[in-house]
Amino acid sequence: VLALNAKITKVGDKILASNGKEVNFASALKSCEEAGGTLATPMNEEENNAILRIVKQYNKYAYLGIKETETFGQFSSMNGIPVNYTKWHRYEPNGKGKEKCVEMYTDGSWNDKTCNLYRLTVCEF
């Protein structure tokens, strides 16, 4: 279960938290689910900025709860809801189906990336 170390923030109806650990996508998702949540998935600018504040605290890129679907170039949240809000970095997404996960840069923009890298865990509840 997440040891939170006061890295908790509330945005809208969501509570965001990070344990400061960098793990691969599957491990990050599992730790969030074990704590009763899921990976943070920004649905608007306010939520994106709240996640960004945590990313900046640790100065590490973070996985978001968004993956590319079976349809190339289409992304959805972990619960299957299509992503209507996006903040792609310039020229992203560019993984052409090979980069299935999404990370947030320390400027708040997004990049599609492989799922086996170690990124910061940020959960939403």
* Position 1 pLDDT exceeds 70: no
* Position 55 pLDDT exceeds 70: yes
Q: Does 120 or 9 have the greater pLDDT score?
A: 120
pTM of the model: 0.92
pLDDT digits 0-9 by tens, 79-106? 888 899 999 999 999 998 899 999 999 9
Confidence of residue 5 (pLDDT cuts 50, 70, 90): low
Structural domain 8-124, CATH architecture = Roll (3.10)
Confidence of residue 125 (pLDDT cuts 50, 70, 90): very high
Domain boundaries, the chain: 8-124
pLDDT of residue 3: 52
- SS3 labels along the chain: CCCCCCCEEEECCEEEEEEEEEECHHHHHHHHHHCCCEECCCCCHHHHHHHHHHHHHHCCCEEEEEEECCCCCCEEECCCCECCCCCECCCCCCCCCCCCEEEECCCCCEEEECCCCCEEEEEEC
